[in-house]
Structure formats: structure tokens, C-alpha cells
Amino acid sequence: MSPARSTFVREDLFFLAELAGEAGRHEDVIKQIKLIIDHFSPQLTTEERSLLSVAYKTTTNALRNSWRVIDALYKLQSTRKAPLHLIQRQRDRIESELTGVCRDVIRLLDRELLPAATEGEETVFYSKLKGDYCRYLAEVGQKRDRERFAELSLKAYRSAYKHAQATLHPLHPTRLGLALNFAVYYHDIKTSPERACHLAKNAFDNAVLSVDASDPGLDQILRDSMAILQLLRDDLILWSGEMKDSDEA
């Protein structure tokens, strides 16, 4: 073993990452998984990959929720006599933090994780992640940046979806999770509930039609996918209602 590796044991780094996750220390989780990538391999185990994904997701979800609250307050107070510059300063600070985390994920994906990914589920998973974090960047920031990241997100989702259709079972939770987030992209970023419904319905119908009671191997996949199928169904109902209201208006 080389000197550079001698001070690190992969199992210990993973244990520390798990420990940090239990303690809610998401930045430490990311640091430990990055050490695994740097000193061992960018090809992560399923458990390592899951820890990394959850740490980034938890961090960005908190920042996205905070940004939405402050942005809503800014829009509300813009019609009143309020210290808008202070609200804007806080919004910009949160936006800067969120942008930094998202760019960090995308950089890690482009430089390390995607080039080392195997064909199939791993490639779909990482391509979906890139689509997600580019989508988050398309939700905030200046117009030029929003447009650029919207296109990058679309490109990543399309690549992931094409690969998923070729390599993953229609019931596979990674394929369904991708379809759900890709549909959200069309609804939220492209403001197209029609395309969102089409994509979600296609994924939902294909998954349901692929259920084979005689195949015991699908039991676990179906259990893992049930929550995503419910989310797809809920979004379909919501978005279909939006289109109906729009037609009646």
C-alpha cells in the first residue's frame, strides 16, 4: 500500500460518514465520502453513494426551503414600506450558499462519479442527480444563469431517461424516481403541465403493466417502488387539475 493510502482505511471512513449522518453532520458526511473517492476509488458502493446523496439532498432542501420563504416575503413586502434591501441581502446570502452546494455536487459528478460509473443503474442515478442539481440552480439566480442551467438539467435528464429505458426495468425505483423528477422539471421549470403529465403517466402506466405476479424477483422492486408510484399518481392528479382549471378559465 502506498504511503498516501496507509493512513486511511475505507471501512473507517465509511463508518465515520455513517456516524456523521446519524448526528446530522451532513458536511462531514460529504467530506468523508470525498476522502474515499480521493484515496480509493470514485466508484462508490451503493451504501456510500446513498450516504452522499442523502447528505447533499438534506443540505440543499433546507437551503431551498429557506430561499423560498425569503423570496415570498420579498415579493409580499415589495408592495409595502419595508426594508427590502435587508430582505434581499438575506435572500442573496442563502442563494449563494445554495449555489455553492449545487455547483459542488455537479463538479463531483462531472469530474469523478459519472466517468467512473458502470452502465445501467449507476449511470442513471448519477445522471439524474446532475439533472436535479442543475434544476435547483435553474430555480434561483439571474435570468441568464437560470436559462443555462435549465438546458443543462434537460440534457442530463434526457440522457438519464434514455439510458434508463434501455437498461432498467420499468418498475425499478431509480427509473421511476428519474421519471418523477423529470416530470417536475417540465412542470416547474418549463411550466408545461401537459408534458409533465405525459411523462409521469407514461412511466406510471409502463410500471403497472410490467407487474408480473409469477415473477418473485419483482416483489422487492415493487415494494421499493410503491412510494414513488404514489407520488407519480398524486402529481398526475394535481397537474391534471391545473390543466382543467386553466381550460375553464
- For the chain, first and last CA: distance in Å? 70
C-alpha to C-alpha distance for 242 and 246, rounded to whole angstroms: 6
Mean pLDDT of the chain: 92
Decide if 214 contacts 196 (C-beta within 8 A).
no
Q: Is residue 6 predicted with pLDDT exceeding 60?
A: no
C-alpha to C-alpha distance for 16 and 79, rounded to whole angstroms: 50
Instruction: Encode burial over 153-171: b for 16+ CB neighbours within 10 A, e otherwise.
Output: bbebbebbbebbeeebbbb
Q: Is residue 19 predicted with pLDDT exceeding 90?
A: yes
Q: What's the 3-state SS for 73-107?
A: HHHHHCCCCCCHHHHHHHHHHHHHHHHHHHHHHHH
Q: In the chain, what are the domain boundaries? A: 169-249
C-alpha to C-alpha distance for 92 and 110, rounded to whole angstroms: 26
Q: For residue range 73-104, list pLDDT tens digits in order.
A: 988 887 666 788 899 999 999 999 999 999 99
Q: For residue range 165-175, list pLDDT tens digits in order.
A: 999 999 999 99
C-alpha to C-alpha distance for 58 and 76, rounded to whole angstroms: 27
Residue bearing the bigger pLDDT, 18 or 218: 18
What sign does the CA torsion over 201, 105, 142, 71 have? positive
Decide if 134 contacts 160 (C-beta within 8 A).
no
- Least confident window among 1-5, 68-72, 131-135, 142-146: 1-5
Nearest Cα neighbor of 184 from 249, 245, 139 is 139
CB-CB neighbours of 87 under 10 Å: 18
